[in-house]
Structure 1
C-alpha cells in the first residue's frame, strides 16, 4: 500500500495543548485578516486617539477644581472653555470609537466570510478516505457554528479587549503623571486580575471545550435522525433516540452550567468589589497625606481625577475578564476549524494525459487500506474501448474498492491502472472527471430542478440536457412533470420514485459526454421494469462508451461482453454469461442460480 493511502486522523481539539490551541486560533485569524492589514492598523491608531481624548475629561476636571473652584476664582470664560473642551473631547472619542469598532466589525464579518468559504472549499477537496470516518453533522457544525465562533472572537473579544487595553494604558499613564504613588496603589489591581483570569481559565476551559464538542454531537445526531426518519419510525426507535438525545443535551447543559458558575464567581463580582476597595484605599491615603496640612498641599483635583481614572481602569479590566468566557469558546471553535483545514487535501493531478477511447488496463494491482490487511490481490484486467464489462461477487469481495481506485478516490500503486495507455494519476483532474462518469448505488439529487440535477453547475445547453435524458430514458418521466425540466424535485428528489432518481443520475453522468461510465450497483434498489429500462439504455451505449458495471443483480450484466467474478479480492472467474454458467459448480453459476431461486420464491408464494 502506498504511504499516502494510509488513513490518518487529527487529534480531537480537547486533546490539544493550550499553546497549540492558541496558535491554531491565532494562525486562523491572521490568515483571514491578512488582506485588510492596513485597515486594522488604522483602526488601532484611531482607537489610541480616542483613548487619549478620553483622558482629557478627568484632567480638565482636576484643573477646574484646583484652579477655579477651590480658590473661588469664578472666571467664566476659562471655566466654560474647560467644560466645552471636555465635552468636545468626550464626544469626539465616542464618535471615533463608534466609527472604528463599526469598521472593524465589518472587517470581522468579511474575514469570517473568507474563512467559511475556505473551509467549505477545503471540505470539497478532501479525499474520500476522510469521509469514510467523518460525521456529516459535525462537519456542518465546523462550517457554520465554529466559523461563527471565529466572528465572536473578532467582534466581541479581540476588538473589545483591544479597546479596553488602550483605555487602560491611557488611564494608567495619566495617573502616573498626576501622582505616581497613588498610581502604584491602583496598579496592584493588575496582578489580582491575572490571578482571577488564570483561575477562571483553569475552571472553565474544560467545560467550554466539552460543551462545544457536545454541541457538534447534538448536531450530528439531529442530522442523522432526520436523514433516517422513516427507519426510526418504522422500527419504533424514536423513544430510544429521544432518550439518547436527551442524555447528550443534559451533558451539554451541565457543561454550560459549570462555565456559568465560573463566570458568576470570578468575573464581574470580584472586580466590582476591587473597584470599591481601591476607591476606599485611595481616599484613605489621600486623607492621611492631607491631615494637618493646607488642602492645597495635595490638590483636591488629584483625588477627583484618580476616582474617575479608577473607574476607567476597572471597567476595561472587567470588560477584558468578561470576554474570557467568549474567548474560550471562540478559541476552541477556531482551533476546530484549523484542525479541519490541516486535513490533507486529495492530490490534484495537473498532468496533460487524456482519456480518448476509453480503454482500461489493470496490471498486477494490489491494495490495502491498512498495512498487513490486503483487500485486492494481483488484479489483472484489460477492458477494450466501448465494451461492456460486469463485475460481480459476494459482499466484501473487493468490488467497491476496485471501483474507488478506478475513480481515483484512493491513489492506486503507480502504473497499476492505465486509461488508454496513460497512468491514471497522469491525467489532469478536470479532464478525468469530464471523461469518466459515475452512477452511484444511492442516487444523489439536489433540492433543485431536474435540469439543475443533470447539469450540476456545468454550462450545458437545453439540447445537451435533453439528449442526455433521452439516452438515459429519463426524458418521458421528466417531461410528465408540471414544469418539465424546470420542476423542483424536492429535497433528495422526494417527488420521484427510486427508479426515476436513478435514471436522472444516469442522465447526469451522460451529460458530460464521458468515454468511460461506471455503475456502482445502480440497479440494486429499483424494480424489474426500471431495470429493463436501464439495460436498454446500456445496450444503446455499447460501442460508444466503455461501461463497467458493478452489479448485485446478475441480470443487469447478463448481456455484458465479459463478466469478472471477484472472490476475496482476487479474480476467481472471467468470461461471458454462458461461459461462466458452463463452469460446473462455479462461483458465478452458484450466485446466479441462488438469485433465480430467490426471485422464484415470492412468485410461488403469491
Structure 2
C-alpha cells in the first residue's frame, strides 16, 4: 500500500501546479448557454426580492395594525397585506420553478458535451499514455468526476448566485431598519470566516485522496471482473479480497474524515445563528422596554437572521460540493489538456490507396527511451509479398506491428510506406489501409455483424464475402439469428477459434492493402488453424502480408522469413534457404516441432 500512498502524494503535488483556475474553466463552459443563465439569474433576483419583502410585510402588520392599531385606509389594510403576502409567496415559488428547470437544462447540456469531450480525448490518447495510466483512472474521469461536476452546475452555481444576492439584500434591509442591530447581527461573521479558512485546505486535500482511491477501486474491480476466470482457477479469491479490502479501508477512512469535516460546517452555522438571535434578543428586549425599538423591527430581524444564516448554511454544504467539483475538474482538465500528446488523425498526406511497400531504415525504438527493443533494424517488404517474422519472446516482433500502425514513433531511423515517411501520412489513411488480426481478440457487446463492421458502412455483399473467405460461414449458418447473433461482452460465450474467425472476417471486410497477423493462430485448434491458413493463402494474393507466428509450420510458404533475436535481424530468406543454412531458424524449427 506504500505505492498507493506515494501515488496520492504525487497527485497532490501535480494538482497544486495547475496554471488556470478550474473554476474559471468550468464557468467558461456556460458561455454558449448565457441566454438561459441570464433568465435564470433574473428569476433568482425576483425570488430574493420576494424573500426580503415578506418579513417587511409582517413587520408592517405587527407594528401598524396589531401594536399601534392604525385604522385601515383604502388598500392599506390588514386584509390587503395578507393578500399581498400570498401573491409575493406565489410569485417567488413560480420564479423558483422556472429557474430550477432552466439551470438544470443548462447543467445537463454542459455535462453531456463534457462527457463527450472526455470520451473523444480518451479515444485519441496514444498507447504510450494508456500504457502508463490504468483503465480505472480513466473510467473515473468519465463517470465519477463528471458526476461531481454535475452537482456543481445543477445545485451550486445558481444557488450560490441566489445566496450571495440574498445575503446582500438582507444586509441592506437590516441596515435600513436599524443600523446598530445590524452590526450586532453581523459580529459573528469574522469568527466563522476564520474557521472556514482553516477547514478549506484539509477538505480539498481529502477530496483529492478520495477521488484517487475511487479510481483505483474502479480499476481493481474492472481488472478483477475481466480476470475472474483466472482468479477462480488459481483459487486466488482470498488474496484478491484482501487487496480489495485494503483499498476499501483506505477509502472508508478518507470518506469518514470527509463526513467529520462536513459535520463541523452545518452544525457550526446553526450554532452561530442561535448565538446571533440570542444577542439581538438580549439587546432588543431592553430597547423595547425603553420604547426605543419597535416589536415589529425585532421580529423582522429574527426572521432576517434565519434567512441570513439559511444561505450561509447552504454555502457550508455547497462548499464541500464545490471542493469536490474543483478536484474533479482538475482531474478532468488534466486529461483534456493532453493536446500535445493526442493523436491527430487528419494531419499529413492523404493518399487514395496505399500500395503496400514497407521499409524499415536503421530503426531504433524503446518504450521508455532507454531500453532499446529494436536496434538498427532494416528490412524491405515489396507490394504483394508475404513476410514472416520469427524469434523468441521479446525479440521485438510485435513492436514492429505497433510501429507500422503508427501507435509509437521511432527514436532513430525511419519507416517508409510506399517511399513516404510514415510520420507524414495521415493516421486515418494509414490505419484504414492496414488490418491487424491479433492473438488476443477483443469483441464488443452487440452482434457478429457489428463486430465485423465496427459500425462502418460496409455493403452486405462485402461482409458476406469476408465471412465466407474467413471460413466462418458454417458457424453463422448454425446460429439462430445468423450474422445478427448476439455477442456478449468480450465474446465470452464464443470459443477462441470462433473469436479469431470473427476477427479475421473483420479484417477482410475493411478491404486493407496490408494484412498483419500477430500470433493469429496461437490459441486455436488444429482444424481451425487449417481453415485460417487456407484463408490467409487466398487473401494474401495481391496484398502485402506480415505474419508473426509461434507455430512455424504456418509460415513455410512465406516469400521471406525474417529471423529476429534481441531486437536485431540475425538472418532472412525463405523457408528452404534458411533450413539449408542450418542456422538459428533451424534451431527454432527443432524447438517448435
1:382-401 deviations in Å (ceiling 9; x for gaps):
11111100011111111122
The CA distance in 2 between the partners of 1:316 and 1:197, in whole Å, is 15
Structure 1 residues 279 and 210, CA gap change in structure 2 (3 angstroms): same
Counterpart residue number, 1:435 = 433
Contact 2:365–2:412 (CA under 8 A) maintained in structure 1 = no
2:338 equivalent to 1:340: no
Q: Secondary structure at the match of 2:344?
A: coil
The CA distance in 2 between the partners of 1:49 and 1:289, in whole Å, is 34
Aligned-pair CA distance for 1:373? 2.9
The CA distance in 1 between the partners of 2:15 and 2:424, in whole Å, is 41
Counterpart residue number, 1:192 = 191
Counterpart residue number, 1:92 = 91
The CA distance in 1 between the partners of 2:32 and 2:211, in whole Å, is 29
Aligned-pair CA distance for 1:200? 2.7
Counterpart residue number, 1:132 = 131
The CA distance in 1 between the partners of 2:313 and 2:444, in whole Å, is 49
Aligned-pair CA distance for 1:471? 1.8
Aligned pairs (5 A) from 1:388-537: 388-412=386-410, 416-537=414-535
The CA distance in 1 between the partners of 2:9 and 2:246, in whole Å, is 25
The CA distance in 2 between the partners of 1:19 and 1:301, in whole Å, is 54
Aligned-pair CA distance for 1:245? 1.0
Q: TM-score, normalised by structure 2?
A: 0.94
Aligned-pair CA distance for 1:12? 5.5
Counterpart residue number, 2:82 = 83
Counterpart residue number, 1:324 = 319
Counterpart residue number, 2:209 = 210
2:174 equivalent to 1:175: yes
Aligned-pair CA distance for 1:269? 1.5
Contact 2:363–2:377 (CA under 8 A) maintained in structure 1 = yes
The CA distance in 2 between the partners of 1:159 and 1:593, in whole Å, is 75
Structure 1 residues 137 and 468, CA gap change in structure 2 (3 angstroms): same
Structure 1 residues 336 and 476, CA gap change in structure 2 (3 angstroms): same
1:467-494 deviations in Å (ceiling 9; x for gaps):
1111222222122211110100222122
Counterpart residue number, 1:301 = 296
Aligned-pair CA distance for 1:431? 2.2
The CA distance in 1 between the partners of 2:19 and 2:481, in whole Å, is 52
Counterpart residue number, 1:54 = 51
Aligned-pair CA distance for 1:466? 0.7
The CA distance in 2 between the partners of 1:290 and 1:406, in whole Å, is 89
The CA distance in 2 between the partners of 1:11 and 1:40, in whole Å, is 38
Would you say how many aligned residue pairs link Structure 1 and Structure 2? 582
Q: Secondary structure at the match of 2:372?
A: strand
Contact 2:362–2:412 (CA under 8 A) maintained in structure 1 = no
2:585 equivalent to 1:588: yes
The CA distance in 1 between the partners of 2:386 and 2:294, in whole Å, is 100
Q: Secondary structure at the match of 1:382?
A: strand
Structure 1 residues 431 and 231, CA gap change in structure 2 (3 angstroms): same
The CA distance in 1 between the partners of 2:10 and 2:471, in whole Å, is 48
Aligned-pair CA distance for 1:448? 1.3
Structure 1 residues 242 and 10, CA gap change in structure 2 (3 angstroms): closer
Q: TM-score, normalised by structure 1?
A: 0.92
Structure 1 residues 544 and 217, CA gap change in structure 2 (3 angstroms): same
Contact 1:399–1:550 (CA under 8 A) maintained in structure 2 = yes
The CA distance in 1 between the partners of 2:487 and 2:267, in whole Å, is 57
From 70, 73, 93, the counterpart of 1:73: 70
Contact 1:193–1:317 (CA under 8 A) maintained in structure 2 = no
The CA distance in 1 between the partners of 2:261 and 2:572, in whole Å, is 69
Counterpart residue number, 1:149 = 148
* Structure 2: gaps of 5 or more residues: 1-6
The CA distance in 2 between the partners of 1:32 and 1:508, in whole Å, is 40
1:505-556 deviations in Å (ceiling 9; x for gaps):
0110111110001111111111222222111111112322110011122122
Structure 1 residues 381 and 236, CA gap change in structure 2 (3 angstroms): same
Counterpart residue number, 1:5 = none
The CA distance in 2 between the partners of 1:16 and 1:63, in whole Å, is 58
Contact 2:360–2:378 (CA under 8 A) maintained in structure 1 = yes
Structure 1 residues 311 and 18, CA gap change in structure 2 (3 angstroms): farther
Aligned-pair CA distance for 1:38? 2.2
Aligned pairs (5 A) from 1:17-56: 17=15, 20=18, 23-27=21-25, 29-56=26-53
Q: Secondary structure at the match of 2:220?
A: helix
* Structure 1: gaps of 5 or more residues: 1-8, 597-606
From 370, 380, 383, the counterpart of 2:381: 383
Aligned pairs (5 A) from 1:238-249: 238-249=237-248
The CA distance in 2 between the partners of 1:558 and 1:186, in whole Å, is 92
